[in-house]
């Protein structure tokens, strides 16, 4: 009993929409959708209230499609500063219960409440936390209770909104193993398809397979998923994980002050390549980008951009960073350029919604990216790199490159 762990996963329900409703009570009980700005998300619904969902509104629908399903739908653009402030209030509240709070994303986190075992029943404690979030922040949440992070995450997904679910290891044959493999946390559409082709249709099918065979076929990540399917997860709740990766950035001083857009683009391409490597090493995606421009006279400006699309690849980072640069460049000679990424989320948590103007490119590159990732996962980071990345790597390692 001394080593028993009790882990909570607190998952806010329809966070963006719920925050809007909490701050605009006139929206309560009405169908609401949050949709990105036209130039960024092309009118795509990124989340919606439960009232809108009952009317058939779904994430990734265009606003036009959503309004066909629900003519009375209210559409709002995302207010990132409001969402971040609310998230900070949430996690400050959670730290009243334990110092072991790990922020997994803007709207979810893990709590290690093992020290409460002898004082409070976990269900009573979860009820108190859920009620307090509802009363003080006016927000709904679901809480999963389990002996480890993976099972707690799976538990919180079982009942939404305002659910509290317990999953114990002895309950796995009844609660977890019958679920389709696609319902497993960490299994995306591509992995689901691979498992399905191999006859792994349920979480129980994966749990029953030979772990060494799974690792040989699917790499380290496959072995990790096999462990999770059997309820094995020794990862600690890490309070420092979010701050550790609060931001990552690179800057580069150009060889000479320039107004040459080609040189500026190529410099930003090198910076984006470095950032891509860091994101992949940490298995995270970014939702915020900052571009720094230092001019010939040392005047420096920084410009911030939030995105509903997770940034992971060099090209995604480069496209957004260069567009921010072009929108804010004065036309004067540039001395130094920098790109910083922030607002990270684990790759297993992030979901890329297809951009209506780039989905064809996404589909074309998906198989190549998948192959490179699979080889690197199985044989080690940087086993296989695109030729352009190797070229940029050599350039970045040259003596006159920036830090």
Say whether 108 is catalytic: yes
Question: Tokens 């949709």 identify what position?
Answer: 35
**Residue that the structure tokens 């960073």 belong to:** 321
Q: Which long-range contacts (CB under 8 A, 24 or more apart) does 151-156 make?
A: 151/7, 151/176, 151/231, 151/233, 152/7, 152/8, 152/9, 152/110, 153/9, 153/11, 153/185, 154/184, 154/185, 155/9, 156/9, 156/10, 156/11, 156/108
CA dist 179 and 284 (Å) reads 26
Residue pair 314/273 in contact (Cβ under 8 Å)? The answer is yes
Cα 275 to Cα 267: distance, rounded to the nearest angstrom: 13
Which residue numbers belong to the known binding site? Answer: 11, 107
Strand ordering across the sheet containing 45-48: 45-48, 32-35, 74-76
Cα→Cα distances 367→190, 310, 381, Å: 10, 19, 18
What residue spans of 24-79 are helical by DSSP H? 38-41, 50-54, 63-69
Q: Say whether 238 sits in a helix, a strand or coil.
A: coil
> Which is the catalytic residue, given 102, 108, 276, 316?
108
What length does the chain have? 403
Distance of CA 364 to the CA centre of its chain: 23
Tell me how far apart the alpha carbons of residues 397 and 374 are, in angstroms, rounded to a whole number. 26
- CA distance from start to end of the chain: 50
Place of tokens 């001019």: 295
Q: How far is CA 15 from CA 22, 68, 90, in A?
A: 10, 24, 11
Q: How many CB atoms lie within 10 A of CB 42?
A: 16
Annotated binding site for Mg(2+): 11, 107
* Contact (CB, 8 A) for 339 and 271: yes
Sequence-ordered list of residues with C-beta below 8 angstroms from that of 56, at least 6 positions apart, any chain: 69, 70
What residues are labeled active site? 108
């Amino acid at each position: 009993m001394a080593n028993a762990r009790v882990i909570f996963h607190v998952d806010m329900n329809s966070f963006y929409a719920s925050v809007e409703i909490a701050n605009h009570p006139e929206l309560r009980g009405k169908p609401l959708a949050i949709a990105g700005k036209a130039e960024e998300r092309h009118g795509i619904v990124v989340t919606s209230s439960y009232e809108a969902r009952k009317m058939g509104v779904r994430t990734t629908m265009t606003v036009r499609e959503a309004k066909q399903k629900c003519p009375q739908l209210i559409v709002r653009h995302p207010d990132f500063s409001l969402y971040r402030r609310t998230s900070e209030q949430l996690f400050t509240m959670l730290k009243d219960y334990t110092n072991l709070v790990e922020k997994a994303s803007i709207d979810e986190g893990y709590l290690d409440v093992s020290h409460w075992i002898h004082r409070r029943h976990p269900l009573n404690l979860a009820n108190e936390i859920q009620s307090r979030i509802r009363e003080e922040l006016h927000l709904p949440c679901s809480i999963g209770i389990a002996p480890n992070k993976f099972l707690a995450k799976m538990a919180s997904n079982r009942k939404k909104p305002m659910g509290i679910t317990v999953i114990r290891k002895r309950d796995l044959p009844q609660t977890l193993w019958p679920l389709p493999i696609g319902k497993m946390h960490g299994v995306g559409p591509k992995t689901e398809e691979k498992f399905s082709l191999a006859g792994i249709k349920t979480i129980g099918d994966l749990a029953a397979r030979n772990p060494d065979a799974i690792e040989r076929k699917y790499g380290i990540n496959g072995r990790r998923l096999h462990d999770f399917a059997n309820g094995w997860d020794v990862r600690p709740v890490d309070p420092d994980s979010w701050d550790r990766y609060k931001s990552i950035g690179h800057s580069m001083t150009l060889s000479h002050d320039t107004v040459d857009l080609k040189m500026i683009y190529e410099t930003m391409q090198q910076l984006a390549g470095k950032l891509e490597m860091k994101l992949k090493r940490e298995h995270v995606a970014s939702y915020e980008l900052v571009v720094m421009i230092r001019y010939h006279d040392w005047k420096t400006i920084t410009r911030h951009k939030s995105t509903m699309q997770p940034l992971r690849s060099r090209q995604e980072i480069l496209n957004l960073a260069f567009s921010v640069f072009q929108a804010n460049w004065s036309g004067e000679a540039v001395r130094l350029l920098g790109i910083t990424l922030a607002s990270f989320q684990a790759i297993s948590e992030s979901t890329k919604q297809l951009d209506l103007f780039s989905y064809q490119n996404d589909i074309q590159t998906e198989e190549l990216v998948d192959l490179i990732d699979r080889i690197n996962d199985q044989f080690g980071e940087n086993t296989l790199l695109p030729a352009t990345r190797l070229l940029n790597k050599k350039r970045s390692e040259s003596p006159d490159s920036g830090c």
